[in-house]
Structure 1
Amino acid sequence: MGDRKPSELFRYLKSHATALTPEDFILEVWKTRLPSHIRNVMAASSATDIDTILKLAASVHEVSPAKQVSAVSDFTGLVEQIQQLTLQVNALTQDRNRSRSHGSQNQSRGSQNRSATPATARDDFASDWLCFYHRRFKEKATKCRGLCTWPGNDARQQ
């Protein structure tokens, strides 16, 4: 409805309807666009004449128009503030997670053994099936342990 009066809204809807649109249909659409406090009064009314219905809506609107408009504008402002705060919290959470992951990587690197296998070497082969020596030294490995699936092992094991 915006800042229109109920009668202005009805005239606006009627002006945008075609000549074949029944006035009862326009009235029903108009009722759905009214604020809830006006709709509640309209539902309790038994008036059927359009002029009477418009006068009733106008009188209800006069009782509390400013209060309803300010509440809607306050609500809109609150929704925008909540959206902005949500974006800020998400950004801060992502920054915090990034700094934690970088910090934990740096801490774990310091405590790791220098002979640990780089991630790229582990990713090249199925690390669950390769022995330590093949994971670390690949084709240069001279010792092989366990059920290693290194391609050259078939000839060695026979």
Structure 2
Amino acid sequence: MHEELGDRKPSQFLRHLQGLAGPDISNDLLITIWTSRLPQNIQTVIAGQTAPTLELLADLADRVHEIAPPSLQVACTSTVSAHASTLENLTSEIAELRRQMRQLTTHSYRQLRPKSRGHPQGRSRSKSCTRSDSSYRKYPTCWYHSRYANKANKCVKPCDFKAENTPGSR
């Protein structure tokens, strides 16, 4: 049986427990269950009493309840600790998410970074390259002239391209 005092007076709560338990339960067991469900300040007063009947104990508990209602500090403390625990969990989850984001960002950066192809990064080829002798013997005309002929704007030396006699050519 798991009943709570709630908004009832201690004597009302005792009658409620008696109704649930029925006539077969002993008074000692009923007192034990009843007092364990009462607020701490009422339990302290009743523990020191040796009243002859259960009804006298219930009246005493009612008077204590009227004079000194139970304190709600315990409920607030457990709520604060529950919030603190939740806050700690959220903080650790955010830290873990930040770590994962850093890891993903680093991984993505490595994937997108251009790979070096035989020459060190930061150095580029010279724009004025000359062709090797073997390439010249095989193809005496540079790539630009073989591709664009008279319309070529560039030329890579050595090149044997001879421009046709067109107006303005040398």
Which bin holds the TM-score, normalised by the shorter protein? 0.5 to 0.7
1: distance between equivalents of 2:18 and 2:43? 19
Residue correspondences, number: 112
Which structure is larger by alpha-carbon Rg, 1 or 2? 2
Q: 1:45-100 CA distances to partner (integer Å, 9 max, x unpaired)?
A: 222311211111111111221x52x4355345435533542442233122122123
Identify which of 73, 76, 88 aligns with 1:74.
76
Give the match for residue 143 of structure 1: none
Asked if 1:58 corresponds to 2:67, the answer is no
Instruction: Provide the residue aligned with 1:20 in structure 2.
Output: 24
1:95 — aligned with what? 97
Partner of 1:126: none
* TM-score normalised by the chain length of structure 1: 0.55
1:9 pairs with 2:13: yes
Find the aligned partners of 1:97 and 1:13 in 2 and give their Cα distance. Answer: 56
Q: How high is the TM-score relative to the length of structure 2?
A: 0.52
How many Å separate the matches in 2 of 1:7 and 1:55? 7
Unmatched 5+ stretches in structure 2:
117-170
Runs ≥4 in structure 1, deviation > 6 angstroms?
107-111
Report the Cα offset of residue 26 of structure 1: 1.3
Q: Tell me the C-alpha RMSD between the 2 structures.
A: 3.1
Q: For 2:80 and 2:9, how far apart are their aligned partners in 1?
A: 25
